[in-house]
Amino acid sequence: MLRIHFTHQDLQNIRIAPRPDPLWELICSVCRLQTRQGPLDFGSWRRCAYAQLRSDPDLRGVVSLLRTVIPDAGYIPDFLTPPVIGGSLADGLDQILRTPRGQLVHELTRLAKFRPGFSRTESLARAGSGGLKSLTGALHTYHGALLGPFWDDIRTQVGSDVALRTRSLLEGGTQSLLNGLRPLAQWNPPVLEVDYPVDRDLHLGGRGLLLLPSYFCWRRPTALADPSLTPVLVYPVKKTLLSDAYGTRQKLVHLLGRTRAALLAEAADQMSRTTSELADAVRVSLPSASAQLSILRDTGLVVSRREGKYVLHSVTPLGLQLLGARTPGPSPGLGKESRG
């Protein structure tokens, strides 16, 4: 069991990540790829991944490298999931490249104790920045090939969970939010007791806690192994199959155009987002985003409202249907894998 100890200050500093973290999803998906866990939730995605691996020897080499540092159970190095809240994959990879050598050697040495015979782990530590460049290249290739085609759907499903958690927080405060993590996380003030494969105590000490919803997390919540790092609790969202995600995205691009399709998917990430946030997310100019959002609004896929100097945009039920999103249901059960 993982016991997370809160102070009064920690209860005032609970955050919910607004969107899926690319590296946490990647790490969890590599674990799912190596096992037969969750056949109903992940079976169709695994079949798509295996088909790509059979036809692409370079991609098989990438997965082989990643399996060196991402076992299907047990300890996974913390440097692979740096704290880049709401950031892009590029932001996360840049942080990995900046991993202090001392942390890299320490964590890879710890990993080697759990993975006898994996000499590549030791060579990665010795190679330093050169080894990290190879690793981040593999992470980038894996994400583009095996997660990229499904990313819009992953964001939509995580966004639905964020909306549920945010509503719980607004209506009942932090107690309602933490109580909503049952059945696998039990709030017994001031301790959150989490189902966990090893016995641990985590004292937040005023740092607060980041709740990070994840599609590929399964069974139990997971957390960083090093208690001195920024506290995060990763938990699984309620899932629908990803098997048709690639086809849905391509059809949406053909129907709306690439920029409008991307804006619609980004707007569905949260209950509302500003024009500037959406423009930055899809990497277009502010005037271009404003013009494309106007078209989406005129066609009934987006609604906009002004709050002060900002214009906030939300996806309509029709827009969510077009994205293939599901109407939020009851609060999902939680699941996780061990990092310590």
Cis link prior to 183 (omega < 30° from 0)? yes
How far apart, in whole angstroms, are the C-alpha atoms of residue 186 and residue 189?
A: 9
Q: What is the dihedral of CA 161, 162, 165, 171, to 10 degrees?
A: -120
pLDDT of 337 over the 70 cut: no
Query: Where is mean pLDDT largest: 39-53, 83-97, 286-300?
Result: 286-300
- Mean local confidence (pLDDT), 162-176: 89
pLDDT of 338 over the 60 cut: no
**Side by side, which strands form the sheet with 232-236?**
14-16, 209-214, 232-236, 222-223
Q: What's the pLDDT at 174?
A: 92
Q: What's the pLDDT at 247?
A: 56
Are the C-beta atoms of residues 214 and 27 closer than 8 Å to each other? no
Q: What's the pLDDT at 123?
A: 66
- Mean local confidence (pLDDT), 259-278: 81
How far apart, in whole angstroms, are the C-alpha atoms of residue 102 and residue 79?
A: 11
How far apart, in whole angstroms, are the C-alpha atoms of residue 170 and residue 39?
A: 35
- Which of the residue ranges 155-159, 202-206, 248-252, 316-320 would you say has the lowest mean pLDDT? 248-252
DSSP 257: -
Q: What is the dihedral of CA 28, 91, 114, 222, to 10 degrees?
A: -40
Q: What's the pLDDT at 95?
A: 92
- Mean local confidence (pLDDT), 78-82: 93
Q: What's the pLDDT at 336?
A: 38
The model's confidence at residue 108, banded by pLDDT at 50, 70 and 90, is confident
pLDDT digits over 133-154, tens only?
889 999 999 998 999 888 888 8
Which element (helix H / strand E) includes 103?
helix 101-114
pLDDT digits over 8-51, tens only?
999 999 999 988 999 999 999 999 998 878 888 888 888 888 98
Q: What's the pLDDT at 119?
A: 60
Tell me which residue has tokens 């102070």.
Answer: 7
Q: What's the pLDDT at 332?
A: 31
**What SS3 state is found at 199?**
coil
> Which of 103 and 248 is assigned the larger pLDDT?
103
